[in-house]
Amino acid sequence: MLNPEKHPLWVFMEQYTPVSLVTWNYIEPCLRCTTVRAGDLILEEGKICRHLYFLEKGLLRFFVVYNGNDVTKYFTDIPYVFTSQKSFVEQIPARESIEALEDSIVWQMNFDDAHRLLVYPEWNVFIRKLVQEVQNFTDEILEAVQTQTVEMRYRTMLEQESALLQRIPLKHIASYLGIAQQSLSRIRKNILKKDGI
């Protein structure tokens, strides 16, 4: 039998571990596709995250509201698996919201299915590697906040994620960096002046 065209999540998983058609046939029935419009919330702070998600198309922002201010934690671009980790794992109210910054295509898997599939080694390995990768990303962000100036962090974003930055409103980039939008505008002008652009 010929393999069907591979699902985008299957292709993504194989960046972490080989996935057989047999195992995929257990995973695929657990997936549900949904479309999310730009500006809509996939998860609202205070609600329990019931799903593990895969972002096929679009762009997401994780944020919290602190002292009345909207504070961006990070962004998720395609293709990637995401969830509100603590809320999902412990099935407790989320302390963050997830917003679509662009019209998005999202595949979701419920909590019970995600855990039931752990008996399959390929899914188990994939989840473990993914959790470790997310932890490494989180550690890198924390280290940068503790050891770099805001301008250094913004320069890194320009060097590594310039195309992504063009898709994100400046107010959210400023929020992610922990500064006012006016301060980010000054930093941008300063970088242009220094670099002679």
pLDDT of 196 reads 59
Q: How far is CA 119 from the centre of its chain?
A: 25
Domain 8-118 fold is: Jelly Rolls (2.60.120)
Regions of the chain where pLDDT drops below 50: 1-2
DSSP 119: G
Segments making up each domain of the chain, as ranges: 8-118
Report pLDDT for 3. Answer: 54
Q: List pLDDT tens digits, range 67-82.
A: 888 999 999 999 999 9
The confidence score (pLDDT) of residue 1 equals: 40
pLDDT digits (tens, 9 = 90+) for 100-130: 999 999 999 999 999 999 999 999 999 999 9
Predicted TM-score (pTM) of the model is: 0.91
